Every structure is written in C-alpha cells, then in structure tokens.
C-alpha cells in the first residue's frame, strides 16, 4: 500500500516538474506569429544628396524578395559623374520576431566591403570591420532590413503604427549595434514620379546632444507599405534622400 502511494506521489511530482519546466520554456520562447510581409518588388528611386557641401543626383534600385520563409534585399546606388557609390545586401529568414538577418554586406565608394554576420546557432553577431560581438536576443535588424521590418510591423500589427507610437529596435551597423527608437508621425502627402502619395512618416528618435545619424522613412500604405521616400541625415548636415519613381512587382 505504501509503495503504491509512494509511486503515485512520485508520478505526481514528476508531472508537476515537467509541467513547470514546459511552462518556463514557453514563457521564454516567443509565440509563433504570422507576418504579412510586403510582396516582392523592384523599386526605383531618384537620389538627391548633399555631401561635403556638394549637391549630388543619381538613382537607386532596391530588389526586395521574399517567399514568406526567407528574404533578401539588394540595393545599388549610383551618382552622376561618380558611378556606383553603394552596394548593400541583407538576407535571412523569418522567425517569431519578423525578419531575421543572417548576413548584411556593404560596399561603399572607394572602400572595401564589410559584413555583419548573425550566427543564429551561437546567438552572436560578429563583424568583419571590428572585433566587437553582440548577443542575439531576438528581433535585431541590420541597416538594410530595418526599413522592411518596420513595413512588416505596419502590415502585420497596424495598432503599433498609430500616430505617436514608439517602436524600439536593435539595429546593427558594419562595426557595432545600437538600440534605436522609431516614432510614428502624422500622415504626410509627398510628391513622387508616380504622383502624390499619402504616406506615414516614421523617424528615428535622436536625443538632444547626440551626434547620431538620423533616419526618416515615408511609407506608402496604398503601395503595399513600400518605402516611398528615405532620408538619411548625418550630424554634420550631409544627407541622402531617395524618392520612389517606380515599383514593379516580381
């Protein structure tokens, strides 16, 4: 009789331990989510820039491709007289946080290419241009994928894109990673080669006194939430602005 009671008690304790362990695992693992990514497309842009006091014009093309399980972003920017000034590529998978980069590569004018590698097995981010290393906690983006992660958030969870909302993201550059916060601004109408577009502007929040790169993105809800305009402004006032001229589904 006692042995039977002991066996029953042991079984109950074991079941409790297993249940507790499973609950802890579920609490630590983000729930699987279904993300609504923008459809694959080739996007053409006109470039307007000011670099070291010199005005520059040019073109850019972004190849955005996804099969809902993986993605790739390839960007090529050309300036008049100078030719190709930037090549960038980000590719990865889709996980419980959205876009999950595996590699991000940049090749700037007259500079060697640099690569940030997201080692998902080791849960670390490493860089070809520095000895820095950062842990992967989930949701980290590179500077190419972050625009498309924001578009994916807008399409998947519209309640997070209300005016005044803040969206925190860890953004990986070519040498390090930083905590960025984006603010959703009021709707704006902008002029493009495809006509006037109603857009939602999202801006990186820069604290007073910080000398950080600013990023403004104008998303077009009527065009699958593609970025209709992107403007990068340096602390010294230099900027690069690209405005959509054509979007072709692929």
Q: Taking the alpha carbons of 173, 44, 50, 111 in that order, is the dihedral positive or negative? A: positive
In a shared domain, residues 120 and 132: yes
The count of residues in the chain is: 250
> Which residues, 6+ apart, have CB-to-CB distance to 60 below 8 Å?
44, 45, 47, 75, 76, 77, 78, 242
How do residues 53-99 score in pLDDT, each as one tens digit?
888 899 999 999 999 999 999 999 999 888 888 999 999 999 999 99
In a shared domain, residues 104 and 163: yes
The pLDDT value recorded for residue 74 is: 98
In a shared domain, residues 55 and 19: no
The pLDDT value recorded for residue 7 is: 46
Q: Global pTM?
A: 0.86
How far apart are the C-alpha atoms of 175 and 107, rounded to whole Å?
Answer: 13
Q: Give the domain extent around 5.
A: 1-30
The pLDDT value recorded for residue 81 is: 81
Which segments within the chain are labelled E, that is strand?
41-51, 54-66, 70-79, 83-95, 98-108, 114-119, 124-127, 133-135, 141-142, 166-172, 177-192, 195-204, 214-220, 226-233, 239-249
The pLDDT value recorded for residue 50 is: 87
In a shared domain, residues 14 and 106: no
In a shared domain, residues 17 and 37: no
Domains identified in the chain, total number = 2
Which residues of the chain fall short of a pLDDT of 70? Answer: 1-33
In a shared domain, residues 39 and 5: no
CATH of the domain at 164: 2.50.20
In a shared domain, residues 24 and 45: no
């Amino acid at each position: 009789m006692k042995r039977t009671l002991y066996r029953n008690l042991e079984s109950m304790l074991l079941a409790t331990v297993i249940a507790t362990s499973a609950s802890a695992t579920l609490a630590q693992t983000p729930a699987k989510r279904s993300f609504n990514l923008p459809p694959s497309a080739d996007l053409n842009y006109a470039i307007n820039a000011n670099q070291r006091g010199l005005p520059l014009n040019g073109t850019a093309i972004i190849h955005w491709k996804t099969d809902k399980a993986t993605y790739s972003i390839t960007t090529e920017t050309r300036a008049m007289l100078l030719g190709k000034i930037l090549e960038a590529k980000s590719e990865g998978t889709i996980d419980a946080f959205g876009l999950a980069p595996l590699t991000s590569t940049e090749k700037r004018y007259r500079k060697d290419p640099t690569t940030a590698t997201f080692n998902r097995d080791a849960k670390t981010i490493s860089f070809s241009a520095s000895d820095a290393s950062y842990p992967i906690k989930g949701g980290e983006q590179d500077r190419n994928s972050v625009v498309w992660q924001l578009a994916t958030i807008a399409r998947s969870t519209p309640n997070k894109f209300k005016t005044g909302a803040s969206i925190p993201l860890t953004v990986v550059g070519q040498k390090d990673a930083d905590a960025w916060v984006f603010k959703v601004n009021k709707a704006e109408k902008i002029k493009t080669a495809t006509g006037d577009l109603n857009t939602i502007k999202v801006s990186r929040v820069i604290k007073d006194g910080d000398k950080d790169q600013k990023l403004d993105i104008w998303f077009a809800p009527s065009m699958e939430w593609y970025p209709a305009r992107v403007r990068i402004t340096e602390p010294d006032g230099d900027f690069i602005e690209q405005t959509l001229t054509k979007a072709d589904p692929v």
